């Protein structure tokens, strides 16, 4: 809502000394969000005066028509050689001799720093410039020069003052509850309250109209559906002069208010709407066929609206109709057939009150938002329609002649609810004392009727505040008018709670461990495309293909929610590589979304707590959303340096990433040979926690690498972090630290190549008994000296007893037991 301050002052006489900054601050404190203070025609500086066109010479020797004009500009502004006159070249043709125009004289500056000088052009000396609205910074109308209504000014008058250039305008972002602030009237009320000056409400007093002439019957208008339209008025005016122009003062305010000047009839409806907040609609009376009726649309009914869009209507839509069918979307946009035209002599003026929700739904359904719909969906004063309509009629009669023939209409009585509130509630909610007197005073400032009995108040909200429906609405009014800046700052006493949940705490710990291990965290958007699922080589049966699809994705290429973090990491890796990264270790912790079976949408009543069945039904709508941890490793792990040669990330780094995440939260993870199709079939680890597979790690499948254009041997790991955290041990028992001497033995076993080291080690450890403290792989070999299909794996065994130095015999026996078990289990033989 754009509010010219001079217009505001018409109803709220705030002191002249109050500047725009102070006014903004007070309105902001009262809850109106003043975003900016604009200056009308900012950048325009005098001398800019009114000129009358005295003579036009058409210059035809140029590519486009050019006019050389002589203008009266008043005795003080003429050229020294031609007193009172200036000669100016002009490229526009929308004016005639005798018209009043706006002339920027040499020495003037127009927006954009454009300085006006006397200059030679088109073979003449042009001694200034005849201005269009846009050139003066008054709006976007650059279609022709600005022609002022005849008699509205004298040549030589200061055009800056006339056009309101330099006037300050508040630009206010109106919140959805404050429909009344979409009017000068509403903002003026707040300003008057803020400065404690009397407020004269233009929405309360019915302007004087001449008695209906009744030369013709006023056109009939009514509502057929009180649920959609509970108040409808239609005033009839005949003999209007369609050529009467909009006075400068009105045009000035419309432009400052952010609207365009169209013609007098439309301008008047817009002017009254800005002033009172009541949208009005002017019909060409002669185009109407039969009574004008507000009603719900018929199924399949069609309407072409003013924006030339043919619309099929919904039975929930509210339309204005006549015998021909729908002629407008109520309170939203008129139709083409009955629209007022530049030659309309007879006018039917509609002012009505439409149901806010219906208009909101209609506006959304048709993706159509207008000045009118914005107001109706936020709530328009139910009582103001006849007053606004009378005000508009009076203006039309005054400015465009015409005869008032009377009004028809419909009104259904709607009860005005009374809100009961304790006088102490506002203070209790604010946490500061607010006296009952203050509460009553503030509510009356808002416009409420307040009846007081003991500590109870019975409050009736004014018709322009349909948003005030329950006690807390009133509390907000009182507290904001007392001032939020008076609320004290008090820390509440908080009883003990759990703090960080285990899941959050351990997730944080994993993030710290990953970052400490050299991984950089890079959160990605969760949107992926079907292309990603293909690029990952996922078979149709893969659970990662059970995606959730968005109805309105930002990009048609990525309409799915991720079921794996890998596509995001891959895209991020590629971006980093394209920016010159030599090596990357990335990680992300985030949700993936695994589609649930279809469930029927439910919508429990919000006036009570939902039942557990209802809550279960709501949760059944949602996909599973586990938290995953994933890493991506590509390129150089260590560069060349004095320490040695560069080397790249490999599969083992990816598997180790899983171990890092598990170790830091004392979760026990087991690695098996895996078969995830995203990974290289021979270089994929399955990650097992508590007997269940929770993820994969290794080198990406060469086809995945190729599909994404990743560096060769790019590696990755992804696991279900929630499952890992669930396996974190609660209270870790302390280890036993042996202080007796250790005995070390190395063994090399030749085993079939497909025996995993992890299994072999488990068997050695189990068979080595209590004396075998640890088993560590230190070498792996296959090749020339080993029989095909087998390989040699070498382990360091450490033996220790808690209470004594082991004898050579004891160590040998334990070692032999371990080797024997490996022989028995895997056919292992001791090497050399």
Q: Looking at beta carbons, which pairs linking 363-371 to residues 24 or more positions away fall under 8 Å?
A: 363/332, 365/314, 365/316, 365/317, 366/311, 366/317, 366/329, 366/332, 368/305, 368/307, 368/329, 368/332, 368/333, 370/332, 370/333, 371/259, 371/270, 371/273, 371/279
Binding to another protein, residues 402-461 (CB under 8 A) = 428-432
Neighbouring-strand partners of residue 348: 236, 283
Using CB under 8 A, which residues numbered 748 to 777 contact another protein? Answer: none
Shortest separation between residue 20's beta carbon and another protein, angstroms: 15
> In this structure, how many other beta carbons lie within 10 angstroms of the beta carbon of residue 189?
24
Scan residues 546-575 and list those touching another protein (CB under 8 A). 548-554, 561, 572, 575
**Contacts with another protein, 31-70, as mask; x by CB under 8 A:** x-x-------------------------------------
Nearer to another protein, 638 or 740 (CB): 638
Pick from 153, 423, 586, 630: which binds another protein (CB under 8 A)?
586
Q: Nearer Cβ to another protein, position 4 or 186?
A: 186
Closest CB 426 distance from another protein, rounded Å = 9
Segment lying near another protein (by CB under 8 A), choices 38-46, 99-107, 442-450, 507-515: 507-515
Asked whether position 119 contacts another protein by CB under 8 A, the answer is no
In the complex, minimum distance from the CB of residue 621 to another protein, in angstroms, rounded to a whole number: 5
Q: To the nearest whole angstrom, how small is the minimum distance from the Cβ of residue 161 to another protein?
A: 29
Q: How many residues belong to the site for another protein (CB under 8 A)?
A: 106
Identify which of residues 491 and 736 has a Cβ nearer to another protein in the complex.
491
Partners of 602 in the beta sheet?
none
Residues numbered 365 to 384 that lie near another protein (CB under 8 A) are 377-378
CB closer to another protein out of 27 and 394: 27
Taking the complex as a whole, the smallest distance from the CB of residue 479 to another protein amounts, in Å, to: 5
- Which lies closer to another protein via its Cβ, residue 619 or residue 780? 619
- Per CB under 8 A, the list member of 129, 448, 585, 760 interacting with another protein is 585
Binding mask 799-818 for another protein (x = CB under 8 A): --------------------
Q: Which two tokens mark 738?
A: 């042996």
Q: How far is the CB of 445 from another protein (least distance, A)?
A: 14
Least Cβ distance, residue 832 to another protein (angstroms): 36
Question: Counting every residue, how long is the chain?
Answer: 832
CB of residue 366 vs another protein: minimum separation in angstroms? 12
Nearest-approach distance from CB 179 to another protein, in angstroms: 9
Q: β-pairing, 347-354 with 401-411?
A: unpaired
How far is C-alpha 661 from the geometric centre of its chain's CA atoms?
37
CA–CA gap between residue 385 and residue 280 (Å, rounded)? 8
Cβ proximity to another protein, 71 vs 510, nearer residue: 510
Buried b (16+ CB within 10 A) or exposed e, 149-187: beebbebbbbbbebbbbebbbbebebeebbbbbbbbbbb
Q: Does residue 525 bind another protein (CB under 8 A)?
A: yes
Q: How far is the CB of 438 from another protein (least distance, A)?
A: 15
Give the closest residue to 101 by CA, choosing from 45, 165, 162.
162
Q: How far is the CB of 272 from another protein (least distance, A)?
A: 23
Can you point out the beta strands (E) in 323-476?
A: 325-329, 333-334, 347-354, 401-411, 418-422, 449-453, 456-460
Question: Residue 63 in contact with residue 103, Cβ under 8 Å?
Answer: no
Query: 44, 255, 43: which is closest to 139 by C-alpha?
Result: 255
Binder to another protein among 589, 654, 705, 819 (CB under 8 A)? 589
Cis upstream peptide for 47 (omega within 30°): yes
| Residue whose CB is less far from another protein, 448 or 584 | 584
* Region of 340-348, 456-464, 608-616, 821-829 interacting with another protein (CB under 8 A): 608-616
Part of the chain binding another protein (CB under 8 A), chosen from 44-52, 121-129, 516-524, 813-821: 516-524
Whichever of 101 and 174 has its CB closer to another protein, that residue is 174
Q: Which residues contact 240 (CB under 8 A, 6 or more apart)?
A: 265, 344, 345, 346, 347, 396, 400, 401, 402
Q: Which x/- pattern, by CB under 8 A, does the window 610-649 give for another protein?
A: x----x--xx-xxx-x-----------xxx-xxx------
Contacting another protein within 467-506 (CB under 8 A): 470, 472-473, 475-476, 479-480, 484-485, 487-492, 494-501, 503-504
Residues in region 317-376 near another protein by CB under 8 A: 357, 360-361, 363-364
As a whole number of angstroms, the distance between CA 338 and CA 332 comes to 15
Q: How far is the CB of 416 from another protein (least distance, A)?
A: 21
In this structure, the number of other CB atoms found within 10 A of the CB of residue 405 comes to 22
Using the contact rule CB under 8 A, the part of the chain among 77-85, 440-448, 605-613, 821-829 near another protein is 605-613
Radius of gyration of the chain (CA): 41
Instruction: Tell me the closest approach of the beta carbon of residue 553 to another protein, in angstroms.
Output: 7
Give the angle subtended at the CA of 212 by the CAs of 210 and 218, to the nearest 5°: 140
Site pattern 238..257 for another protein (x: CB under 8 A): --------------------
CA distances to 221, 222, 301, 315, 731 from 324, rounded to whole Å, are: 14, 16, 11, 17, 81
Q: Which is nearer to another protein, 260 or 637 (CB)?
A: 637
| Residue 426 to residue 752: CA distance in whole angstroms | 82
- Is 338 in a helix, a strand, or coil? coil
Residue 639 CB, shortest distance to another protein, in Å, is: 7
Reported as half-sphere exposure (CB side, CA atoms, 13 A), residue 563 has a value of 21
Q: What is the DSSP string of 572-597?
A: HHHHHHHTT-SEEEEEEEEE--BPPP
> Is the separation of the CB atoms in 335 and 305 below 8 Å?
yes
Query: By CB under 8 A, what part of segment 165-204 binds another protein?
Result: 175-178
Q: Minimum distance between the CB of residue 332 and another protein, rounded to whole angstroms?
A: 14
Q: How far apart are CA 738 and CA 453, in angstroms?
A: 84
> Does 602 help bind another protein (rule: CB under 8 A)?
yes
* Closer CB to another protein, 30 or 727, in the complex: 30
Q: Which of 604, 650, 677, 681 binds another protein (CB under 8 A)?
A: 604
């Amino acid at each position: 809502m754009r509010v010219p301050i001079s217009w505001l002052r018409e109803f709220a006489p705030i002191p002249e000394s109050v500047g725009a900054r102070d006014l903004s601050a007070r309105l902001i404190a009262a809850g109106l969000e003043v975003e900016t203070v604009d200056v009308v025609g900012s950048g325009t500086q005098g001398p800019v005066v009114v000129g009358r066109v005295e003579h036009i010479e058409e210059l035809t020797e140029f590519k486009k028509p050019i006019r050389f004009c002589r203008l009266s500009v008043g005795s003080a502004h003429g050229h020294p050689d031609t007193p009172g006159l200036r000669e100016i070249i002009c490229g526009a043709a929308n004016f005639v001799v005798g018209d009043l125009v706006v002339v920027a004289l040499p020495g003037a500056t127009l927006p954009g720093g454009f300085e006006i000088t006397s200059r030679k052009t088109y073979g003449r000396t042009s001694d200034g410039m005849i201005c269009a609205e846009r050139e003066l910074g008054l709006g976007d109308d650059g279609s022709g020069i600005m022609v002022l209504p005849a008699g509205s000014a004298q040549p030589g008058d200061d055009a800056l003052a006339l056009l309101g250039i330099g006037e300050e305008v508040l630009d206010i972002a109106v919140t959805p509850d404050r429909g009344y602030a979409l009017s000068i009237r509403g903002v003026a009320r707040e300003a008057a309250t803020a400065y404690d000056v009397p407020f004269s409400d233009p929405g309360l007093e019915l302007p004087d109209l001449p008695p209906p002439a009744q030369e013709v019957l006023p056109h009939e208008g009514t509502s057929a559906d009180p649920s959609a339209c509970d108040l409808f008025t239609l005033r009839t005016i005949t003999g209007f002069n369609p050529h009467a122009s909009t006075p400068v003062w009105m045009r000035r305010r419309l432009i400052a208010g952010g609207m365009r000047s169209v013609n007098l009839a439309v301008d008047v409806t817009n002017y009254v709407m800005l002033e009172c907040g009541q949208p009005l609609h002017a019909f060409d009376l002669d185009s109407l066929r039969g009574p004008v009726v507000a009603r719900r649309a018929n199924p399949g009914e069609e309407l072409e609206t003013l924006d030339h869009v043919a619309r099929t209507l919904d039975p929930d839509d509210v339309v204005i109709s006549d015998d021909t069918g729908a002629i407008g979307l109520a309170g939203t946009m008129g139709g083409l057939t009955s629209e007022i035209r530049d030659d309309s002599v007879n006018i039917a003026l509609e002012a009505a009150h439409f149901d806010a929700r219906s208009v909101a739904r209609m506006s959304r359904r048709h993706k159509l938002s207008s000045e009118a719909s914005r107001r109706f969906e936020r709530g328009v004063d139910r009582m103001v329609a006849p007053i606004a309509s009378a005000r508009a009629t009076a203006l039309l009669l005054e400015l465009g002649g015409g005869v008032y023939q009377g009004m028809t209409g419909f009104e259904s009585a709607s009860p005005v609810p009374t809100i009961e509130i304790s006088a102490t509630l506002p203070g209790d909610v604010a946490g500061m004392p607010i006296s009952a007197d203050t509460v009553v005073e503030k509510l009356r400032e808002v416009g409420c009727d307040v009846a007081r009995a003991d500590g109870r108040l019975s409050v009736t909200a004014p018709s322009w505040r349909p948003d005030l429906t329950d006690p807390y609405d009133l509390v907000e009014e009182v507290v904001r008018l007392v001032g939020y800046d008076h609320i004290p700052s008090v820390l509440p006493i908080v009883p003990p709670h759990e703090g960080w949940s285990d899941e959050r705490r351990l997730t944080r710990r994993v993030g710290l461990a990953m970052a400490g291990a050299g991984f950089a965290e890079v959160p990605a958007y969760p949107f992926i495309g079907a292309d990603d699922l293909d690029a990952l080589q996922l078979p149709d049966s893969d659970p990662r293909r059970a995606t959730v699809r968005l109805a309105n994705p930002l990009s048609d290429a990525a309409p799915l929610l991720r079921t794996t973090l890998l596509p995001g990491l891959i895209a991020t890796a590629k971006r980093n590589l394209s920016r010159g990264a030599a090596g990357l270790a990335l990680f992300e912790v985030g949700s993936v979304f695994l589609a649930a079976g279809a469930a029927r949408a439910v919508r429990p009543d919000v006036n009570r707590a939902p039942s557990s069945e209802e809550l279960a039904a709501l949760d059944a709508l949602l996909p599973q959303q586990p938290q995953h941890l994933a890493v991506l490793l590509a390129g150089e792990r260590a560069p060349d340096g004095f320490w040695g040669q560069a080397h790249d990330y490999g599969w083992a780094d990816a598997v180790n990433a899983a171990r890092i995440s598990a170790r830091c939260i004392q979760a026990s993870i087991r690695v098996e040979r895996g078969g995830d199709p995203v990974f290289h079939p021979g270089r994929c680890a399955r990650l097992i926690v508590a007997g269940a597979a929770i993820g994969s790690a290794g080198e990406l499948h060469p086809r995945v690498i190729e599909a994404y254009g990743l560096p060769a041997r790019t590696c990755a790991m992804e696991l279900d972090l929630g499952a890992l955290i669930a396996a974190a041990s609660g209270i870790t028992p302390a280890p036993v630290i042996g202080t007796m001497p250790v005995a070390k033995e190395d063994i090399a076993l030749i085993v079939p190549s497909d025996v995993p080291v992890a299994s072999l080690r488990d068997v050695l450890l189990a068979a080595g008994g209590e004396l075998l403290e640890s088993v560590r792989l230190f070498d792996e070999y296959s090749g020339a000296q080993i029989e095909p299909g087998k390989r040699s794996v070498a382990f360091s065994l450490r033996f220790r007893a808690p209470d004594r130095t082991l004898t050579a015999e004891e160590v040998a026996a334990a070692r032999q037991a371990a080797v024997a078990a490996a022989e028995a289990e895997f056919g292992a033989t001791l090497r050399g």
